[in-house]
Structure 1
Amino acid sequence: MKILDRYILVSYLQTFFTVFIILMFIFVLQAIWLYIGELAGKDLDVAIILKFLLYTTPKLVPMVLPLTILLTSIMVFGSFAENYEFAAMKSSGISLQRAMRGLTVFILLVSVTAFVFANNVIPAAEFKIINLRKNIAKMKPAMAITAGVFNEVGNINIKVDKKTGDNDQYLHDVIIHTGTERGGDYTVIKSKEGELVSSENSNVLSLILTDGNYYREVQPSDYSKRDHKPFMKSYFKEYTINIDLSELNQVDMEDESYTTQSMLRIGELTKSIDSFSVSLNERKEAFATSMYSRTGVKSLDINFTPAESDKYKSFKHSILDNYNSDQSQRIVDDAIRTTNAAISHLSIKKQEFKQSARRLNKYEIALHEKYVLAVACIILFFVGAPLGAIIRKGGMGLPMVIAIVIFLTYHFIGIFAKNSAEDGSVSPFIATWLSTLIMLPLGVYFTYRATTDQGLFSFDMFTEPISKFLKKIGLVKPKDK
């Protein structure tokens, strides 16, 4: 390795690790702020909190690493240009591409490492963090009622305006939603005051409410009456709700029975995608066959072809002409009910297939994201390095602003595209690669401008065609030679 390559690599590595650590620290703090509601009031051990942060860190790498490469490249090459080191290199016959050669090898190694990391470490960490979050959510809820928001405690959702008392056992302005076996919150309880009563080792949490009202929606068997929203209302002076915490207090923090697409490796994702695709297609075909058979067309055994004109003509008149008015009315009513039932069944199946397709799209997005991270590292390096040489400014000022603007554009395009891909509006492949593919021509453009010692933008490319057009139509006279 030549002295120049060593100097550039050492300068880049020093800035790279410094920026990476700073950005990772910032994103970890943001994660703590995001999940503080899940950690606060749970009486968790320090070891569990540290484990939570440890498992959270790997999933931040796809955000931190590309931004680190982009910002470091702008800062380092901007500093070289600002201190005229590039001018000295060029005067010695060393081009920008030659100066970037050693770093290109390093970025390729980083990209390969990022791919391996995304395919192995991130799924394992995601598996740990999601299961740990679910186990933390099951911890004893007596201390988990946060004022101002709804909290799930046992089989109820409770919201309180504020808590008072030495142990926050007194609740004020209580609203409770309780579910039913059929799902939905059909019961609402409102109370001015409440008190949590439970011994330290008790498996029962008693919630004593005073001076409140009890509302319960009534679900009539007649669907036509449900539009009126009937309900029952009663007033109580004191009302006690007992919540069984025996299962909630016996939480195994090592339980790892929950899985999602973000926890799978490439091989597992590929198998899952194939399985889901085959299953979805088979269900659609089975449903189409079932709906066709329910129409009763097969039982008619009629072929509407010109060769069987007699049968064809017999269906030109209404079949109701063969019945009296009462019978016709019953036939029409039965047909309407059957049609409405079929439409309702179609609507339910449509939502079911839509959710299945959304799940399949998420798996495809997760598969492509593992490749995108590696490619994005390379492309953002070729965006940042020549851009730093063009702006000729090092440090954390202007390079930081430019890097954040470029990265936010890259990141938001990716988010919007992936959200569109989940519901099938955009192909998962296109949505996942869109932001990276947009950055590719930008990197080529910046590299060309920096290599040819041109500025960031050339306004002549916009003004020259306009000037020629104005001269052609005679509005501007050509200059005399």
Structure 2
Amino acid sequence: MLTIIDRYILKKYLGTFLMLLLLFIPIGITVNLAEKIGKILESEVPLIEVITYYGYFTIYFANLLFPLFLFLSVIWFTSKMANNTEIVAVLSSGISFYRFLRPYLIGATIVCIGALVMGMYLAPMASKGYNEFSYRYLKKGKSDRDQANVYRQINDNDVIFVSSFNAANKSGTFFTLEHFEGNELEYKISANRINFNEADSTYTLFNYVKREIGKENDVLITKSRFDTIFPFEMDDLTPVNYIAETLNYNELNDFIDKELKRGSSYINRYEVVRQKRWSLPVSAYILTLIAVAVSSKKRRGGMGVNLAIGILIGMVFVFFDKVFGTMAEQSDFSPFVATWFPNIIFGVLAIYLLYGAKR
């Protein structure tokens, strides 16, 4: 059962966090709009699409930076309580320091659950709208799917290779498909160019060559142009780099399973996204404990000192998160270790700081 003190601290915890979000999100929107307004006007984007875009931007922005906002908000109101000697009064009444932490942990649980729901379902939807608007109006002529040397295993029997891929016209150059039965190569298809026809979901191959592997002699079939059907679409071959961010958790799990079977070279990037869906909400507890430990003591410099320390720790946390995430995306470094390592390091720091704050 919540006491008066619990309700008082919990109200400040959630209220200050929401207030900080409401203050910084308009600033983020204003800065983004000032940067993009020229391209928006040049593209003559309908007003309703601009409003929708900034709705997506709000969710995207809040989900991305909520740990930092939460950290600063806890430091802010806890420092204010310390300066007003409210914390001294609470502890002098016989309440232990760890009991004093209970409303903070309850607040962190509420934020964690909200962040989980947002990260699993709302943020992917917002990320999709945010990125689609950016590539449609703000990055004209630039495609995230123009790639070189695309190699994919599309099912248990077929492996394909495309030397280069152009997303704008859905075409590739120097295409090959190898079909296996067990470990035996049955046939190989090659073409100088491949085009995907959206109207009927067929493919056109130019300078088509099919080599059927025989026990004694191979059969060679050549055509200058050949229309056919394959068990894949161009979007499946070269998914956009941000595709994982746009999928809810269930869809992301299915997508990663499919990409593993296809031998995708971007598996680590997708795994980092999946692990962050869990690690970021959990960071609410760790950052809350650090913030309380840093700001519960009344300092000579007042709130300014606590905020300075908090901003420094917050920046280091973001730095660790970005560096290890990038390491996992671009190397064989474990995505699980990369995403949870900052939480582990700062969890140890939280325990150390809490011990010092209790003393």
Question: CA contact under 8 A between 1:75 and 1:395: conserved in structure 2?
Answer: no
**Alignment partner, residue 263 of structure 1:** 246
Change (3 A) 1:440 1:92: same
Of 46-55 and 6-15, more deviation after overlay is shown by: 6-15
Deviation at 1:61?
Answer: 1.9
Question: CA contact under 8 A between 1:77 and 1:394: conserved in structure 2?
Answer: no
Change (3 A) 1:78 1:393: farther
Question: CA contact under 8 A between 2:289 and 2:354: conserved in structure 1?
Answer: yes
Change (3 A) 1:388 1:396: closer
**Alignment partner, residue 42 of structure 1:** 43
Residues 408-447 of structure 1 mapped to structure 2, 5 A cutoff: 408-447=315-354
Question: CA contact under 8 A between 1:58 and 1:121: conserved in structure 2?
Answer: yes
Deviation at 1:409?
Answer: 0.7
Deviation at 1:9?
Answer: 2.2
Question: CA contact under 8 A between 1:5 and 1:102: conserved in structure 2?
Answer: yes
Change (3 A) 1:63 1:127: closer
Deviation at 1:392?
Answer: 4.0
SS of alignment partner, residue 66 of structure 1: helix
Residues 351-370 of structure 1 mapped to structure 2, 5 A cutoff: 356-357=264-265, 359-370=266-277
**Alignment partner, residue 121 of structure 1:** 122
Deviation at 1:396?
Answer: 6.0
Query: Is 1:73 aligned to residue 74 of structure 2?
Result: yes
Q: What per-residue deviation string (whole Å, max 9, x for no partner) do you get for residues 237-267 of structure 1?
A: xxxxxxxxxxxxxxxxxxxx97711011222
State the TM-score, normalized to the length of structure 1: 0.51
Partner Cα separation in structure 2 for residue 396 and residue 22 of structure 1? 19
Change (3 A) 1:267 1:14: closer
SS of alignment partner, residue 93 of structure 1: coil
Question: CA contact under 8 A between 1:82 and 1:394: conserved in structure 2?
Answer: no
Larger radius of gyration: 1
Partner Cα separation in structure 1 for residue 85 and residue 331 of structure 2? 51
Deviation at 1:7?
Answer: 2.0
Change (3 A) 1:36 1:440: farther
Question: CA contact under 8 A between 2:286 and 2:346: conserved in structure 1?
Answer: yes
Question: CA contact under 8 A between 2:21 and 2:62: conserved in structure 1?
Answer: no
- % identical equivalent positions: 27
SS of alignment partner, residue 390 of structure 1: coil
Partner Cα separation in structure 2 for residue 41 and residue 396 of structure 1? 46
Aligned alpha-carbon RMSD (Å): 2.7
Q: For residue 249 of structure 2, what is the amino acid of its counterpart?
A: I
Residues 151-300 of structure 1 mapped to structure 2, 5 A cutoff: 152=141, 260-280=243-263
**Alignment partner, residue 21 of structure 2:** 20
Aligned residues: 264
State the TM-score, normalized to the length of structure 2: 0.67
Q: For residue 260 of structure 2, what is the amino acid of its counterpart?
A: S
SS of alignment partner, residue 43 of structure 2: coil
Deviation at 1:133?
Answer: 2.5
**Alignment partner, residue 376 of structure 1:** 283
Deviation at 1:93?
Answer: 0.7
Partner Cα separation in structure 2 for residue 94 and residue 80 of structure 1? 16
Q: For residue 57 of structure 1, what is the amino acid of its counterpart?
A: T
Q: What per-residue deviation string (whole Å, max 9, x for no partner) do you get for residues 85-139 of structure 1?
A: 222222211122222212311210210111011000001111122222333258x
Extract unaligned runs of 5+ from structure 2: 143-170, 174-238
Q: For residue 130 of structure 1, what is the amino acid of its counterpart?
A: N
